[in-house]
Structure 1
């Protein structure tokens, strides 16, 4: 596996994927989490603004793509006093392969009073090398539970090992978008392994992450008739920061298809 550099090189407006940008489902298929990362990068660069917080990002992964150059186009849907909404479309020479929608909200004074808060978990980032269960992954993974063995809730810390785009340092928002896709395997793995491939993911953030390490804890799973829903709480090293929700479809063992 060639994983000595960035996942993409930006050449003449196209993001050209490296060989190690492939999905775990197939070596000739682009990893869906990277599409989410490119969408977040473009939306933040073209529609981010001081005082506006990316509160939601939804990424629809409606078509598999091989390792082809990607273009990203964005548009602003709404620009109000307290809300901004922007969309992104990701395409290859074969046409659109994914789309994304972001909601940005105006920061302000926190209201008084107490509310019910999601509790911080008791799972600090482990010392030492990643604990990935023997998987060969292009990112760092610390499995805190044995997936398919432990009943859960499944927990993991993840950290990027390589740049998303050559010559760039990913922002905290892009890091969160890359990690959010991981809610699918974490939330949908079963006693016989992972047999659902996600069709989308939605990330909601109360604040941006303040550490490169991001933790996810599965908080729910529902499935029937080959359709699955998974959800996770996202943490940084200071505490919980948001939620991830995915929808997924049962996937044949021979090849991923959407």
Structure 2
């Protein structure tokens, strides 16, 4: 996206609604947490389609497997055809703010609407062992840092997960899933004053805007998921009497939060 003129940017910012301001404040209230996106992908198997019924995703920060489970909000429940998620394709199941710390385990809870479509075109309901009724538990044991965006990839191995039962035409689902947790770039945080009105904060790489947000409570802002590199920050207040400002040479590193010195806009 090309960077428009300061005049056009300022005009655009001036029409910021009260709803957007409240959203910005709410967003910055979560700045003390990490953010995680859980995505599903697949290693192919010898079927026409494989549908799994995803109902819930939980995380556990506790050494004990019996307690400490927390449900991720904003889960996209439903049936997913795993065979459409091959060749580096994935789909995001959850995108949520979580507490910082070390994630010990994740639990994928499936419903009972799981099906396989054979190469002959037969649709057969998958049987799930009773021991998996509480969910598929996957070891993670990796830290997540405050203010950083992470992506957890659940790589579902269809060939190893679906087994033909002793009687013909029956299949059992025993999920085999590989997990990959990675930081998605780094983050930038800081404060822009005066804080009585929100300001737009834009991250530019040359003339391209790669991320943007509005300052919230106390003038704080946080931008996540920015690729490693050097950027210029542009600040524009919703108060047209305040002059825009820039800060150059802001370096972002993967998995880290870059703290920028407080900047005060002047008239």
Q: TM-score range by the shorter chain?
A: under 0.3
Q: TM-score, normalising length from structure 1?
A: 0.26
Q: TM-score, normalising length from structure 2?
A: 0.25
Q: Comparing both structures, which one devotes a greater share of its residues to strand? A: 2
